Amino acid sequence: MRKIAITLLCSLALIQVMAQQSPPGKQSHAFSLADCINYAYEHQDSVKNAKLDITNAEYKIKETIGQGYPQINGSISFQDYIKAPATVGPNVFADPVTGKAPPYDPNAPLVKFPFGATSYTNNYGLQASQLLFNGSFFVGLEAVKTYKELSIRSLTRSKISTNVSVTKAYYQVLVNNEQIKLLDANIKQLKQAFDETTQQNKQGFVEKIDVDRLEVQYNNLVTTRQNVERSLTLTYAMLKFQMGMPLADDLSLTDRLENVGLTQDVAQNAVDTTFYRNRIEYNLLETAKKLNELDVKQKKAEFLPSVNLTAGLATVFQENHIRYLYNNNYPNSYVGLNISIPIFSGFQRKYQLKQSQVAVMKSQNDLDNAKEGLTLQATAASVNFQNGLQSLNNQKRNQTLANEVLRVSKIKYGQGVGSNIEVTQAQTALETADNDYIKALYDALINKVNLDQAYGRIK
């Protein structure tokens, strides 16, 4: 019994620890489209990485600025010569017997001096330099600031891409919900007709085939609704994925389809000859051209001299016996000015400059091409939206007509002047009209998003 009690206590303790370490429960959210977009701006990985790129660019600016600050380095060295290197030179030493030095002979072999390097040497040094002038440094400082601008615009591009993806996924959920509403209405209507026809068949007023025909339609509608409901679960998951939201969280949408502006004015208000300047793709190409122009300036700066102020401070300890090594030191110091003047590099700098100038010309060509491409894209988006809007309005009318045909067919059938086949065909026509309406609705919504993106309205 004691072992069982101990085992139970250990199990309870383990369960408690696991409960404390388990992730928090799922959260529930009721979001409008704007809420979903703002949530994505904070949680979508691509946006977070773009923000990190801006932080990285700020660090790059500080790194480049640091090149203009004084550069200070210290050095310490210690040598213990197991065998000291020899010092050689002309024989200028006096003969110990005669006391006379031999005459200098430049052709005579060198001799080893009786002194050489000390056995122990310890050096401490401090060197400093200050950049006074370097054209490439100042151009590079401007370039890294432009690089930060490029990172900021890349963040904008990531946000726009996220905005578009979230908006389309949000509209897909709304359309699927609308489709379920239409299916529910048709199922309810068909169930009522099926029940009435079943009763009439029991009373001998209609044939069994009429009941079977309605039952087939009813079963097909129920199956379609189940499929759409499963698809709705998937579209919710896709929306949460685009937002960077945990898939386990609950999400409900507060916006309604009737609040989405699907009018002709959306396309007519898009007329703007300079709209392409609002497109982030064009802005990124402008920044790329600016970077290429700065590269030209940097290549030109390489033709200029660079000037550095230098200084150094050192002390040296030397001795043949380590116990006396630090009895004396021999300090030294200096200040200086280094000027580096580029004179000739085999025309390398010249042709590097020309390559950079070619890159600028290519950047301008890219801008011109982007202007035409974005104009074409916007024109196509406007046409697609207008066509989609016209199709949507047409499908709305078809829906209304199909409902009216079904209503009249039921009245005629109830008065005995129509057939059950006519009612079934009218019901099928309504289902087709509903499906066409849902497709046209989704196309119109997606075309609206594409139109807003094409004209740079999504920021």
Beta-sheet pairing, 71-80 with 88-89: unpaired
Does any domain span residue 117? no
The answer, yes or no, to whether residue 25 has pLDDT greater than 70, is no
Residues whose CB is less than 8 angstroms from the CB of residue 264 and which lie 6 or more positions away in sequence, other chains included: 386, 389
Does any domain span residue 327? no
The answer, yes or no, to whether residue 307 has pLDDT greater than 90, is yes
The answer, yes or no, to whether residue 2 has pLDDT greater than 90, is no
Does any domain span residue 210? yes
What is the arithmetic mean of pLDDT over 441-453?
94
The answer, yes or no, to whether residue 358 has pLDDT greater than 90, is yes
CB 173 within 8 A of CB 253: yes
Lowest pLDDT segment from 108-117, 174-183, 317-326, 438-447: 108-117
How high is the pLDDT of residue 266?
62
Does any domain span residue 110? no
CB 142 within 8 A of CB 65: no
Does any domain span residue 251? yes
Q: Where are the beta strands (DSSP E) in 11-62?
A: 28-31
Kindly report the average pLDDT of the chain as a whole number: 87
SS3 content of the chain, % helix, strand, coil (to 5): 65, 15, 20
Kindly indicate the confidence band of residue 239, based on its pLDDT and cuts at 50, 70 and 90.
Answer: very high
Amino acid at 256: R
CATH code of the domain containing 420: 1.20.1600.10
Does any domain span residue 90? no
Lowest pLDDT segment from 74-78, 128-132, 227-231, 262-266: 262-266
What is the arithmetic mean of pLDDT over 284-291?
95
How high is the pLDDT of residue 94?
64
SS3 8: helix
Does any domain span residue 318? no
What is the arithmetic mean of pLDDT over 38-50?
95
Cα 27 to chain centroid distance, Å, stands at 26
The answer, yes or no, to whether residue 310 has pLDDT greater than 50, is yes
Kindly indicate the confidence band of residue 71, based on its pLDDT and cuts at 50, 70 and 90.
Answer: very high
* % of the chain at pLDDT higher than 90: 63
DSSP element (H, E) containing 352: helix 348-414
In angstroms and rounded to an integer, the radius of gyration of the C-alpha atoms of the chain is: 42
Structurally, the chain folds into a number of domains equal to: 1
- pTM as predicted: 0.81
Kindly indicate the confidence band of residue 385, based on its pLDDT and cuts at 50, 70 and 90.
Answer: very high
Does any domain span residue 404? yes
Q: Which domain holds residue 281?
A: 26-71+133-306+344-454
